[in-house]
């Protein structure tokens, strides 16, 4: 099964993806992590994208599209992927459908974690003390939230129409959310 996990910055996508990876033996594909690796390894791509990421904007659909194709085309991960942070735009959602079809796969469920801007700010400031991310400060967090709100509407309509979308209250506690996600996944496994 392939899962998409979706939501604003600080919604808990990374935390819940790790839970799903352990419980259902899937592989996490976090485009944010892949992009941060490029920056940490000082690659050409890394130097191109660091200022975009640190300003809270999205990197181009083409760049992230290339990164995910490497993952989707790898037989080791076939039908075992949790997409964490991809897609973020309608173009990316259509690209994801295209690539999955190309490698004979599909999305089984889209999990959307809903949280308020206030919660996002609080969680990102907490995370700032644990991880050293250039984009985890209040100003960029607000910008990332707005970027998310602007780019996600069409994407959500798209998944709503396809009946794959499940909306989860991301304000709840971590284990409560994990239980809800687990039940939803068990439900579609049948």
What the block records as the tokens of 65 is 């599209």
Residues 63-82 that bind ligand AMP (CB under 6 A): 64
Burial of 119 (0-12, 13-18, 19+ CB in 10 A): middle
Task: Provide the 8-state DSSP code for 57.
Answer: P
- Residue 110 phi, psi dihedral angles, 5° rounding: -120, 120
Under DSSP, the state recorded for 169 is E
Residue of the chain from 7, 9, 12, 170 that contacts ligand AMP (CB under 6 A): 9
Pick one of 5, 11, 28, 32: the residue that binds ligand AMP (CB under 6 A): 32
Residues 112-171 that bind ligand AMP (CB under 6 A): 135, 144
Of 85, 120, 123, 178, the one binding ligand AMP by CB under 6 A: 85
Binding mask 42-61 for ligand AMP (x = CB under 6 A): ----------xx--xxxx--
Backbone angles phi, psi at 70, to 5 degrees: -55, -40
Angle between helices 31-40 and 61-72 (to 10 degrees): 100
We find the least distance from the C-beta atom of residue 145 to ligand AMP, in angstroms, to be 10
Comparison of 141 and 165: residue with beta carbon closer to ligand AMP: 141
Please choose, out of 27-35, 96-104, 119-127, 169-177, the segment that lies near ligand AMP by the rule CB under 6 A.
27-35
Q: Is 35 in the site for ligand AMP (CB under 6 A)?
A: yes
DSSP conformation class of 76:
G
Cα–Cα distance, 107 to 115 (Å, whole number): 23
Q: Residues interacting with ligand AMP, by CB under 6 A?
A: 9, 31-32, 35, 52-53, 56-59, 64, 85-86, 88, 92, 135, 144
């Amino acid at each position: 099964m392939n899962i998409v996990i979706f939501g604003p910055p600080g919604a808990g996508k990374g935390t819940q993806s790790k839970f799903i990876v352990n419980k259902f033996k899937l592989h996490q594909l976090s485009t944010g992590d892949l992009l941060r690796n490029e920056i940490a390894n000082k690659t050409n791509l890394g130097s191109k994208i660091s200022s975009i990421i640190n300003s809270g904007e999205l990197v181009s659909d083409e760049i992230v599209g290339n990164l995910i194709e490497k993952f989707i085309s790898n037989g080791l991960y076939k039908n075992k992927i949790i997409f964490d942070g991809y897609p973020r735009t309608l173009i990316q959602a259509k690209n994801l459908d295209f690539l999955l079809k190309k490698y004979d796969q599909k999305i089984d469920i889209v999990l959307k974690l809903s949280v308020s801007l206030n919660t996002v700010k609080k969680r990102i400031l907490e995370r700032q003390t644990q991880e050293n991310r250039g984009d985890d400060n209040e100003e960029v967090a607000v910008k990332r939230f707005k970027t998310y709100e602007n780019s996600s509407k069409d994407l959500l309509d798209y998944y709503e129409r396809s009946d794959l979308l499940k909306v989860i209250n991301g304000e709840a506690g971590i284990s409560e959310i994990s239980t809800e996600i687990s039940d939803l996944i068990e439900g579609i496994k049948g």
